[in-house]
């Protein structure tokens, strides 16, 4: 059975060497023998035709997801995965909306890496259980919380505060520290905000007009 070819996009030589060591004695996945920098992603995909593109999102931040978008626009068979230190539900949603196959913790084991690459190569999606659980939690809207009219759907003062911090790019943990509340409380507010405004995540929220107080 042919190996799955994997192309790693990273500026971090140590990460490349760690991934290479993880796959060295494995029969399932073959790592293309050089890391790719951010300026050569599209050219490398066209030349190498990898089965899976693995992007170092911890190093590249939002640019890492843009690489995935650019590769998805090529309409090639290459599937994409994002490595990140915090593969949260919002990051997972952003990757999937951008044409990627999922997120993987940057500190993953060789076994987990291979399982993720195989799954994405087969056309499946990949994410940590925690990220999936958080996504499902956001989708669970109790019937009693559905607004019956426009007045009930209006954002509260605290929700408007949280929207403003989200627009500035702050994470749930950062917002929680600023407001003196728990991370879970911020997540609950975020869930209610997305439901009331009928948006599916922070990316769409950022594209909406600024809310009037």
Strands of the sheet with 4-9, listed across from one edge: 29-31, 4-9, 52-56, 79-84, 103-105
First to last CA, the chain: 61
d(CA 162, CA 87): 21
CATH architecture of 4-133: 3-Layer(aba) Sandwich (3.40)
Q: Which of 32, 35, 92, 48 is nearest to 68 (CA)?
A: 92
Tokens of 64: 């890492």
pLDDT in tens, 13-70: 999 999 999 888 788 899 986 767 667 888 889 989 999 999 999 999 888 888 999 9
d(CA 101, CA 94): 11
Q: How is domain 142-207 classified at the CATH fold level? A: Arc Repressor Mutant, subunit A (1.10.10)
d(CA 30, CA 36): 15
> Residue 62 contacts by C-beta under 8 Å, 6 or more apart in sequence?
none
Q: Which of 16, 30, 25 is nearest to 118 (CA)?
A: 30
Of the CA atoms within 13 Å of residue 76, those in its CB half-sphere come to 20
d(CA 163, CA 167): 6
pLDDT in tens, the chain (213 residues): 568 999 999 999 999 999 999 888 788 899 986 767 667 888 889 989 999 999 999 999 888 888 999 999 987 899 999 998 877 777 888 888 889 999 999 998 999 999 999 999 999 989 877 776 766 665 554 444 444 444 345 788 888 888 888 888 888 889 989 888 888 888 888 888 877 776 666 665 655 554 544
Residue 109's H or E segment, with its range, is none
Q: Do domains 4-133 and 142-207 have the same CATH topology?
A: no
Q: Which of 184, 31, 8, 176 is nearest to 80 (CA)?
A: 8
Q: Would you kindly state where each structural domain of the chain is located, as residue ranges?
A: 4-133, 142-207
Cβ contact 137:172 at 8 Å:
no
Cβ contact 79:34 at 8 Å:
no
Residues in the chain: 213
Q: What is the pTM of this model?
A: 0.63
């Amino acid at each position: 059975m042919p190996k799955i070819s994997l192309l790693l996009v990273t500026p971090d030589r140590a990460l490349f060497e760690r991934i290479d060591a993880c796959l060295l004695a494995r029969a399932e996945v073959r790592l293309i023998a050089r890391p790719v920098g951010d300026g050569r992603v599209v050219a490398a995909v066209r030349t190498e035709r990898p089965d899976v593109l693995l992007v170092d999102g911890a190093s590249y931040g939002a640019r890492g997801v843009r690489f995935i978008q650019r590769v998805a626009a090529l309409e090639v068979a290459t599937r994409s995965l994002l490595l990140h230190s915090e593969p949260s539900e919002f990051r997972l949603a952003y990757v999937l909306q951008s044409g990627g196959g999922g997120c993987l913790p940057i500190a993953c084991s060789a076994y987990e890496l291979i399982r993720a690459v195989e799954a994405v190569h087969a056309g499946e999606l990949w994410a940590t259980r925690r990220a999936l659980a958080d996504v499902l939690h956001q989708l669970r809207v109790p019937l009693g919380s559905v607004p019956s009219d426009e007045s009930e759907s209006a954002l509260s003062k605290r929700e408007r505060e949280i929207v403003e911090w989200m627009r500035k790019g702050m994470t749930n943990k950062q917002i929680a520290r600023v407001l003196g509340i728990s991370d879970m409380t911020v997540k609950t507010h975020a869930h209610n905000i997305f439901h009331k405004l009928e948006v599916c995540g922070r990316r769409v929220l950022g594209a909406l007009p600024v809310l009037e107080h």
